[in-house]
């Protein structure tokens, strides 16, 4: 298999030449970016040359990806590759940033609306992470062999990034490691966790022992008349042995036999199902999903129980009573374990992608494969079958790919769905 495409990368066409005018972007995030770059690389001559070169129109298409910004630049007859790198934030830093952002309702409201608010910088500072370039995490590399570091090509590329930020401020989190979709999902998870755990928002005592007024609370002293030194020096007396437990009352005849014939607790299953349903409704009430998840029908709920119940006798009993052909419940349960209700939908229902969706799917499936490496598929509706390999890729309506393998003439789910169908195909075929 050929080299995989760069994850999360976004490409932008080259800017046309600009005669005169400002070399710095004008939006809040663009100005913050250029200010940070100029503070990090304070050599005025290099910055001056970079501003001039940025206006020449000799910087090719720009690629922005996590930790990396790159472009081809053209100086005279030569072409050079210029790369600017920034350190990505790790998972713990992102988690802390979203915790601090969730403390600010106005910031979270704008983020969930698709905006990148200026006040997010306050959350960045509280989390003590970097969003803007800074010393030690901004670097440049260019094969122009200029003596200056950074060269004019690198500073010019940074000025053009500020032009991109005028229209696309979410490129700033992207270069730190999160695109807009990933960032918002993590923020939604933090908000959901707070809502479900009832995080204290009414000024209760915090971890440091401070009250509502911000002052340190006075520790409680010993009771009146008690000498703490003498109490501390006193020898500890062992606790008495606990009394024996009372005998259990005898069970009535037949009480030990389960009514259903299996060792199962239906109340536990009802509580679990209600909790899953309540979580979906809570996500909708908080605006984290466009619409509430519909309730499961009888077959879907049967599959859910068969897929998740720890007692193997439960799916055996359901297999006998569901009225479906042998093996159908097991296959449906495998699809549920791989992808939940969406995985069951992919198993049981086909759909016909539009011409545009089909073209986009073909591009996603073939990404990273050399022309002679990809086996020829048989495409029917949303099923891509590679009969020679005994594998199949099923495209979901959400754009994800579900892996399937042929077993005794039947297609069985072979793993969890993935947002990149090319990765699913590579795992299936061993590419």
Q: What is the rounded CA–CA span in Å between residue 179 and residue 167?
A: 15
The 3-state DSSP class for residue 137 equals coil
Neighbour tally for 46: CB within 10 Å: 19
Q: What is the pLDDT of residue 368?
A: 56
Predicted local distance difference test score (pLDDT) of residue 211: 45
* Bridging pattern class, strands 59-65 and 383-386: unpaired
Q: Which of these ranges, 95-99, 136-140, 371-375, 413-417, has the smallest mean pLDDT?
A: 371-375
What is the H or E stretch that residue 411 is in?
A: strand 410-413
Angle between helices 298-308 and 313-321 (to 10 degrees): 150
Mean pLDDT, residues 256-267 taken together:
53
Query: Could you tell me which residue, 267 or 312, shows the higher pLDDT?
Result: 312
Range of weakest confidence among 3-7, 159-163, 266-270, 318-322: 3-7
- Cα distances from 358 to residues 232, 375, 404, in angstroms, run 78, 18, 19
* 15 neighbors 74 (Cβ within 8 angstroms): no
Pairwise CA distance, residues 241 & 247, whole Å: 18
H-state helical runs in 198-348: 228-233, 266-285, 298-308, 313-321, 328-348
**Considering the chain, what is the average pLDDT of its residues?**
81
Neighbours of 145 (CB within 10 A): 7
What is the DSSP code (8-state) at residue 297? -
Token pair, residue 339, equals 């992808």
Q: Quick one: angle between helices 355-366 and 421-429, nearest 10?
A: 50
CA-based end-to-end distance of the chain: 5
What is the residue whose two structure tokens read 């030569």?
78
HSE-up of 129 (CA within 13 Å, CB side)? 25
Question: For residue 403, what are the β-bridge partners?
Answer: 393
Q: Is 364 exposed, middle or buried (0-12, 13-18, 19+ CB in 10 A)?
A: buried
Element at 384 (helix H, strand E) = strand 383-386
Which comes out higher in pLDDT, residue 210 or 78?
A: 78
Share of the chain above pLDDT 70, in %: 81
φ, ψ for residue 402, nearest 5 deg = -105, 125
The pLDDT assigned to 205 comes to 42
Q: What is the pLDDT of residues 212-252, one digit of tens each?
A: 444 444 445 556 666 766 766 777 778 888 788 777 667 56
pLDDT on residue 264: 52
The predicted-structure confidence for 166-218, as pLDDT tens digits, reads as follows 999 999 999 999 999 999 999 999 898 888 776 544 444 444 444 444 444 44
pLDDT for residue 27: 93
Q: Mention every residue, 6+ apart, whose C-beta is less than 8 A from residue 339.
A: 346, 396, 402, 413, 416, 417
Name 388's Cβ contacts closer than 8 Å, sequence gap at least 6. 375
Give the strands of the sheet with 78-86, arranged side by side: 10-12, 59-65, 68-75, 78-86, 138-142
What pLDDT digit, counting tens, does each position of 304-340 carry?
888 888 778 888 888 888 888 878 999 999 999 888 8
DSSP 241-254: PPPPPPPPPPPPTT
Tokens describing residue 139: 């670097």
What is this structure's pTM? 0.51
Higher pLDDT, 230 or 105: 105
How many Å apart are CA 117 and CA 110, to the nearest integer? 6
Q: What is the pLDDT of residues 342-366, one digit of tens each?
A: 889 999 999 898 887 777 777 777 6
Domain residue extents for the chain: 10-195, 355-429
Report how far residue 431's alpha carbon sits from residue 345's, in angstroms, rounded to the nearest whole number.
Answer: 27
Q: What residue ranges in 17-164 does DSSP mark as E strands?
A: 59-65, 68-75, 78-86, 138-142
pLDDT, one tens digit per residue, over 24-69 is 999 999 999 999 999 999 889 989 999 999 999 999 899 999 999 9
């Amino acid at each position: 298999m050929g080299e995989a495409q760069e994850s999360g990368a976004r490409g932008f066409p080259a800017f046309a030449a600009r005669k005169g005018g400002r070399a710095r972007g004008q939006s809040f995030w663009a100005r913050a970016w250029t200010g940070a770059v100029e503070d990090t690389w304070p050599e005025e001559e290099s910055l001056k040359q970079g501003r001039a070169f940025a206006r020449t129109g000799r910087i090719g298409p720009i690629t922005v990806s996590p930790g990396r910004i790159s472009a081809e630049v053209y100086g005279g007859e030569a072409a050079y590759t210029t790369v600017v790198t920034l350190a990505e934030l790790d998972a713990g830093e992102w988690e802390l940033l979203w915790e601090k952002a969730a403390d600010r309702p106005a910031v979270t409201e704008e983020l969930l609306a698709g905006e990148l608010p200026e006040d997010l910088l306050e959350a960045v500072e509280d989390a003590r992470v970097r969003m803007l370039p800074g010393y030690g995490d901004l670097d440049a590399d260019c094969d122009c062999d200029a003596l200056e570091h950074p060269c004019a090509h690198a500073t010019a590329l940074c000025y053009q990034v500020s032009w991109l930020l005028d229209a696309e401020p979410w490129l700033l989190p992207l270069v730190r490691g999160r695109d807009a979709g990933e960032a918002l999902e993590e923020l939604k998870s933090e908000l959901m966790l707070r809502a479900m755990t009832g995080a204290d928002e009414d000024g209760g005592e915090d971890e440091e022992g401070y009250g509502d007024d911000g002052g340190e609370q006075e520790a409680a002293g010993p009771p009146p008349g008690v000498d703490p030194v003498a109490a501390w020096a006193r020898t500890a007396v062992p606790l008495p042995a606990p009394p024996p437990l009372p005998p259990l009352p005898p069970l009535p005849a037949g009480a030990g036999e389960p009514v259903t014939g299996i060792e199962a607790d239906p109340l536990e299953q009802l509580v679990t199902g209600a909790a899953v349903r309540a979580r979906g409704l809570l996500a909708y009430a908080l605006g984290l999903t466009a619409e509430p998840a519909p309730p499961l029908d009888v077959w879907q709920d049967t599959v859910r129980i068969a897929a998740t119940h720890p007692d193997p006798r439960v799916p055996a009993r359901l297999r006998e009573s569901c009225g479906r052909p042998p093996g159908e419940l097991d296959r449906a349960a495998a699809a549920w374990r791989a992808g939940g209700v969406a995985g069951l939908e992919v198993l049981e229902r086909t759909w016909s992608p539009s011409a545009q969706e089909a073209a986009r799917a073909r591009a996603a499936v073939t990404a990273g494969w050399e022309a002679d490496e990809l086996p020829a598929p048989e495409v029917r509706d949303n099923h891509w079958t590679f009969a020679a390999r005994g594998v199949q890729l099923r495209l979901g309506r959400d754009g994800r790919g579900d892996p399937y393998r042929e077993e005794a003439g039947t297609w069985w789910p072979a793993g969890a769905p993935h947002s990149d169908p090319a990765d699913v195909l590579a795992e299936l075929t061993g590419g």
